[in-house]
């Protein structure tokens, strides 16, 4: 796997997020990743996860009827919309580490304080209701958002999510 291909995962995802599964450019991208065709939604399911544990990525498609975003307007219910891509650290949920460029220049070795110093205060934080430990932070990125999910109250990064805002 070449570095230029890995970088294309991020830049291509940024461009294609919000498109429906009938989009030919999205289909081509998924085909390149060996994720096309998508599995259909299961009974009473509203999400499709397209995983590549070796590359360290998972693409999330949501049923258009469940998305409160302009990209889902006028879509037929049941239309899969590319809504997020998750970039995993090594060993998380059986994934290998994503080795390409992460959104906002984030690195796997970044700390909470380093990210806040570089990116500014997050727009939103998620904390454990019982312990108060930091679980995730979210920053806007144009019409998208970047969420950093942490291990053990912020001791390390578990996952970086890029998705519809």
Q: Could you read off the pLDDT of 4-57 as tens digits, one per residue?
A: 444 489 999 999 999 999 999 999 999 999 999 999 999 999 999 999 999 999
Residues 109 and 75 in one domain: no
The residues with which 157 forms a beta bridge, in sequence order, are 150
Is residue 95 one of the residues assigned to a domain? Answer: no
Is residue 91 one of the residues assigned to a domain? Answer: no
Average pLDDT over all residues of the chain? 93
Residues 79 and 109 in one domain: no
Residues 53 and 115 in one domain: no
CA distances from 83 to 16, 44, 69 (A): 9, 19, 10
User: Number of structural domains, the chain?
Assistant: 2
Is residue 150 one of the residues assigned to a domain? Answer: yes
The residue from 53, 83, 113 where one domain ends is: 83
Instruction: Name the residue range of residue 75's domain.
Output: 3-83
User: What integer pLDDT is reported at residue 91 of this predicted model?
Assistant: 96
Residues 12 and 79 in one domain: yes
CA nearest to 29, candidates 85, 106, 78: 85
Is residue 89 one of the residues assigned to a domain? Answer: no
Residues 39 and 76 in one domain: yes
The residue from 83, 117, 150 where one domain ends is: 83
Is residue 92 one of the residues assigned to a domain? Answer: no
Tell me the pLDDT band of 132, cut-offs 50, 70 and 90. Answer: very high
Q: How many CB atoms lie within 10 A of CB 14?
A: 15
CA distance linking residue 118 with residue 26, whole number of Å: 32
Q: Taking 80 as the threshold, does the pLDDT of residue 2 lie above it?
A: no
Residues 79 and 108 in one domain: no
Helix (H) or strand (E) segment spanning residue 145 = strand 144-151
Q: Which two tokens stand for residue 10?
A: 């991020």
Find out whether 23 and 63 touch, Cβ atoms under 8 Å: no
User: What integer pLDDT is reported at residue 152 of this predicted model?
Assistant: 78
Tell me the pLDDT band of 90, cut-offs 50, 70 and 90. Answer: very high
Q: Taking 70 as the threshold, does the pLDDT of residue 107 lie above it?
A: yes
Residues 18 and 75 in one domain: yes
CA distance linking residue 11 with residue 92, whole number of Å: 23
């Amino acid at each position: 796997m070449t570095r230029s291909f890995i970088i294309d995962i991020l830049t291509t995802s940024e461009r294609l997020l919000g498109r429906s599964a009938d989009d030919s450019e999205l289909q081509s991208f998924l085909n390149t990743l060996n994720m096309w065709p998508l599995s259909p939604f299961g009974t009473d399911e509203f999400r499709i996860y397209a995983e590549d544990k070796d590359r360290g990525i998972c693409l999330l498609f949501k049923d258009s009827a469940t998305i409160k975003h302009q990209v889902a307007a006028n879509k037929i219910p049941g239309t899969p919309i590319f809504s997020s891509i998750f970039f995993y650290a090594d060993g998380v949920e059986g994934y290998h580490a994503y080795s390409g460029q992460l959104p906002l220049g984030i690195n796997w070795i970044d700390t909470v304080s380093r990210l806040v110093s570089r990116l500014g205060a997050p727009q939103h934080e998620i904390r454990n209701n019982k312990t108060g430990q930091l679980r995730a932070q979210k920053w806007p990125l144009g019409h998208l958002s970047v969420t950093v999910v942490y291990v053990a109250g912020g001791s390390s990064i578990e996952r970086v999510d890029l998705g519809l805002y």
